Amino acid sequence: MLAGKPSPLGSTVDDGGVNFAIFSAHATQVVLCVFDQSGTKELAQYSLPQCTRQVWHGYLAGAQAGLCYGYRVYGPWEPELGHRFNPNKLLLDPYAKKLVGEVIEHPALYAYEPNGHDPKSLMLDLTMSDTDSAPFMTKCQVVDLNMAHLAPITALNTPLEQTIIYEMHVKGFSQLNPEISPHLRGSFSALGEPASIAYLQQLGITAVELLPVQAFLSEAFLTAKGLSNYWGYNSIGFFAPHSAYLNRGDIFEFREMVSKLHQAGIEVILDVVYNHTAEGNELGPSYSFRGIDNASYYRLNQANPRYYLNDTGCGNTLNLNHPQVLTLVMDSLRYWVQVMGVDGFRFDLATSLGREAYGFDKGAGFFDALAQDPVLSHVKLIAEPWDIGPGGYQLGNYPLAFSEWNDRFRDTMRRFWRGDIGLLPEFAHRFHGSSDLFEHSGRSPSASINFITSHDGFTLLDLLSYQDRHNLDNGEKNRDGHQENFSANYGVEGSTSDKNILACRARQQRNLLSCLLLSQGVPMLCAGDETGHSQQGNNNAYCQDNPLTWLDWQEFDQTLIGFVARLIEIRKAFPALCAQKFIHNSQSSTEPSFAWFSRQGEVMTKSHWSECHNKTLILVLSAPKEYPLQQTEANQPSSGELEPQQALLLMLNADDSAHEFAFPQLATLAPWQCLLSSETAANEDVDATAQYSLMPRSLGLFYGQIYQAGELN
């Protein structure tokens, strides 16, 4: 084996062979293991001959793309000092672009030898195992990344404030779609099929946010119960697409999917997990990082390095304070943008990525690295702004470049429509884009990613059908999943034939979806919420890879789909709903304006806002003519008249009683026109009168033209 080069890391093909390079600061020897094409038979071993600045490297002349390989890494077995080297364990290249074969759960995958020890013994993981793990391990495969034969992917660069996100699972979205060939269902290719794209376009989606698609594994405790990690938040390969989603076994299937979505005007955002890996805590398996250089890749307990810092709740935390680990993450992100063509990332448990030795810091090295990167500084960056470590909840505290999942929007909207008292001020803050959380630091409404539900928790229908979680199928005695969901069943737990309860749940679906898509900020719709999808009350379906989580295309609520499409159409037609900066009550006729009124049509005062039992509200959003919703000859002002502003008026009744609403006394050009009502799923246009009655738990959206923003004050 020749010396090769220390850069780039991973396996790199050229005309003469393949260069291999892998980082390990504490290894004493690194051995490249070559396997046959099936990845089952080990053919040869080559010791990497050179180590340059802690990067071990070698060049295998004559090797080609398709070669299967792994590593055995020698070094000290000293768990008490944080070192867990064991050359009996075959390890994955952190930079592998493709994995082949399956991981087979077996004691050999663990670097320590538990046999013969008391499972409760504190010494359980201190004896090194001498069993070869290669027969039970997935293998890396060399990929030629020469891009000459691939058509370029043009970025769409949809402004964030105009983005409508659809959070979805690659397999769950297409697995039961009868319009897609059975052999394609559940794959990246299925998402690029005309049937999938047509559906997303019908809704009006501008970006799909894919649950983890980087290579992930299932935990042993799940496989022992016949379950699997369906969601994928258990990553092991940050460059490799998850093999089960590849229809042909070609990693560029993912790229083809991105290209087709881009051609349809739909961006691709990846949910990425750089906070922890599938190796778990000190009793977990050795797949890659633990055996390559445990003390570098993971954050360890400084008082006792045998143990991991577990700010993620998943057993370990990646150490982004180490320059090589930070380099790994940055290289991975750039790879998915430059090679695979994606448009942005949602960072799982992002607070972990911003932790320095003293805690979370919005000026952490990872955030600074993103801000200065010429590629990554221009893509969409979304944070899940919490982890379980000290000071882990950081909503509103991320750098300018980030948007954040806004769980306060989620909880407020759920509680308001459930009928909780005293929520009018909080509702207004969230509907307004959460300026109290973001504006002070110079951020815009698009910093708030608004959602009612996500993959994690109840579906929208279940939120309105179940008071309690029903997670027994997960095999954890119903102890897993969120306890407080701000849900209600409206009279019956679960499914029912009661028409009144069904009608109430249908209105509540429309109420919550309306607030999601009419609020300031960036809306994120969870796949299936627009179809009436239920998981039978399971609010933690992370291990349910079966029809419980797959969207049933035969049972779609087409009426609800039409209602959501209408909402998105309105959002796109009235740009003030997608404002680039926070809208306040402007006196200028050239600026959009927000105004709040009581159901009596009076401007809201402090006493109105403090009426804790009041569950009704009116808001008016107006914008100058350059923010048109619709223009016809009939509603154009005559020559010499003041230029009217376009306006949306939203009436909200979260009470369990019907109420009469008075339209605010505004100078209107014509009667208010009803655009939609949650009382009915039909798209009806009706002229409003001086009074408008809203039944319990319902809303109405109206369009009109008013003459001056200042008249709202």
Q: Which residues belong to the active site?
A: 348, 384
Closest to 690 measured CA to CA, from 706, 703, 671, 668: 671
CB of 191 closer than 8 Å to CB of 173: yes
Structure tokens at 377: 């500084």
Here the contacts of 368-374 (C-beta below 8 Å, separation 24 or greater) are 369/326, 369/330, 370/330, 370/333, 370/401, 371/399, 371/401, 373/330, 373/334
- Spatial distance between the Cα atoms of 209 and 194, rounded to a whole number of angstroms: 18
CB of 701 closer than 8 Å to CB of 569: no
Please list, in sequence order, all residues whose beta carbon lies within 8 angstroms of the beta carbon of residue 610, skipping any fewer than 6 positions away. none
Name the burial class of residue 139, with classes exposed (0-12), middle (13-18) and buried (19+) by CB atoms within 10 angstroms of its CB: buried
Look up residue 213 and give its amino acid. V
Helices (H), 127-286: 170-174, 188-191, 194-203, 220-223, 252-263
- Spatial distance between the Cα atoms of 34 and 46, rounded to a whole number of angstroms: 8
Closest to 94 measured CA to CA, from 408, 320, 329: 329
User: What's the sign of the alpha-carbon dihedral 538, 542, 545, 551?
Assistant: positive
Closest to 448 measured CA to CA, from 464, 430, 460, 470: 430
Structure tokens at 5: 């080069």
CB of 331 closer than 8 Å to CB of 95: yes
CB atoms within 10 A of CB 548: 14
CB of 229 closer than 8 Å to CB of 542: yes
- Spatial distance between the Cα atoms of 628 and 647, rounded to a whole number of angstroms: 9
Closest to 597 measured CA to CA, from 666, 541, 659: 666
Residue-level length of the chain: 713
- Spatial distance between the Cα atoms of 592 and 11, rounded to a whole number of angstroms: 54
**556 alpha-carbon distance from chain centroid:** 23
CB of 712 closer than 8 Å to CB of 620: yes
DSSP string, 475-522: TSTT--S-S------TTSSS----HHHHHHHHHHHHHHHHHHHHSSSE
Q: Which residues of 223-237 are buried (b: 16+ CB within 10 A; e: fewer)?
A: beeebbbbbbbbbbb
**657 alpha-carbon distance from chain centroid:** 37
- Spatial distance between the Cα atoms of 88 and 83, rounded to a whole number of angstroms: 15
Name the burial class of residue 420, with classes exposed (0-12), middle (13-18) and buried (19+) by CB atoms within 10 angstroms of its CB: middle
